[in-house]
Structure formats: structure tokens, C-alpha cells
Amino acid sequence: MHHQRSEIDRRSVRVKLTDKGRKLRDIVAKLFATHAEGLTTRAILDADAMDEITRALKRMERYWTDQIRYIY
């Protein structure tokens, strides 16, 4: 990942993926797609169940983030 401070506003940072970062992103995306396809092909989970799990995990992450925010 490459980041660069703005010349105009030093509080602002521009972030972008390097070539290596884009390759890694593509590998992870392909792995995720392969696993998702395997879950649906083997009838372990359908698309609705995966969406429901994703929503639940996002709610858990929000809860944990809020807990950490209030501790510190």
C-alpha cells in the first residue's frame, strides 16, 4: 500500500494499492470466491445464509469496536 500526504492539507492522506497490493487483493478475492462457490455447490450454505452470516458478523464487529472505543 502506498500513502502520500496532501501538499495542500497536511491532515489529508491519499492511499492507493501498489502493484503488489493489487495482486494480493486479486488472490484473496479469488480465494473468497472459490470458497463461497464450494459452500453453495455442496449445499452447505446458500447465498441468503451467507448474507445473514455476513450481517451478523458486521454487527459483532461494530459491538466490539464500540466496546474498545469506550474502554480507551
Q: What is the pLDDT of residue 72?
A: 65
The C-alpha atoms of residue 23 and residue 27 are separated, in whole angstroms, by 6
Q: What is the pLDDT of residue 7?
A: 84
The DSSP string of 5-42 is E-SS-TT-EEEE--HHHHHHHHHHHHHHHHHHHHHHHT
Q: Walk along the chain (72 residues) in steps of 10 and give the mean pLDDT of each run.
A: 84 91 97 94 94 96 90 70
Q: What is the pLDDT of residue 32?
A: 93
Q: Which helix (H) or strand (E) holds 2?
A: strand 2-5
**Is-contact 5 13, C-beta < 8 A?**
yes
Indicate whether this model's pTM tops 0.85: no
